[in-house]
Structure 1
């Protein structure tokens, strides 16, 4: 079976990128006040766009890309805050129990995955999980609190 042909109004991923990368990077540079961070967020934004396969549905490229870029920035800020909190905890450990750099990286990646999964849960499910795992409450105690 042959792939469906794109309509003349649907840009190819390469064209969409070429047409929009410049202004998105400028917009992000103004927001983030860092050309390096803007480049990173621009690339992450286009990675999300290209993984979605929905260019045919885009009516306003700028609004579409700004929305995705804002989500990428929020994820980035959360990841940075989580990393900072983890490093703050590590800095208080005695050297004798300090995990190796490899283990630190692995633990940080695991924390980020847990954070991402928790973000996908509903409010009560997230709260129940945290009460169970962080406060060591029983199911009965969690039910009482919720």
Structure 2
């Protein structure tokens, strides 16, 4: 029987031991928050571990460059989630008192918005915007075309692309 407490010799284990504190410092300089940097550092290594388990982890000749790439993507996602949360809280502040959701409902709605944001992250920005305006605001294609400064035909293509993406996305 193997000892679960024994040191691991996996590539991710070595990568973690050698580069975790460096990545944490890099993220902390950008975020100005040690706790958020620690979370993103762990998320980075979870992504690396998942890639290793899926056998999609590339050969790492430059491990810091790879970690920076993953870390930057997570940093962008962090800022997007923060902006999304801020916009949601601003929208809540503008609601009449009787329509303000409970703290539990707010949490569920924010989690749903973040999941939707992550789901649509693989779409080009104009496609994502067209889809969200259509689905969340109920805008018609003509209005979306005007906002995006494209033709209605382009909006139809965007919507078809978004629907196809949603149907094929691996959840």
Q: Which TM-score applies when normalising by structure 1? A: 0.78
Aligned equivalent of 1:43:
42
Query: SS of the residue aligned with 2:17?
Result: helix
CA contact (8 A) 2:133 2:139 kept: yes
Unmatched 5+ stretches in structure 2: 1-8, 146-150, 155-171
Instruction: Indicate the residue corresponding to 1:136 in structure 2.
Output: 139
C-alpha deviations, 1:77-98, integer Å up to 9, x for none? 0000000100111112122211
Query: Aligned partners of 1:11, 1:84: CA distance in 2, in Å?
Result: 40
How far off its partner does 1:136 sit? 2.9
Higher relative contact order (CA 8 A, sep 6+): 1
Match of 2:117 in 1: 115
Q: Size of the alignment, in residue pairs?
A: 136
Once the two structures are superposed, residues 16-68 of structure 1 have per-residue CA deviations (whole angstroms, 9 ceiling, x without a partner) of 21111111112222222222222121111111111111455111111110111
1:110 Cα deviation after fit: 1.2
2:101 to 99, 102, 111: 99
Structure 1 range deviating more: 46-55 or 128-137:
128-137
RMSD of the TM alignment (CA)? 2.5
Matched with 1:79 is: 81
Name the CA shift for 1:123/1:37 in 2 (closer, same or farther; >3 Å). closer
Of 77-86 and 98-107, deviating more is 98-107
Residues 88 and 110 in structure 2, CA contact (< 8 A), matched pair in contact too: yes
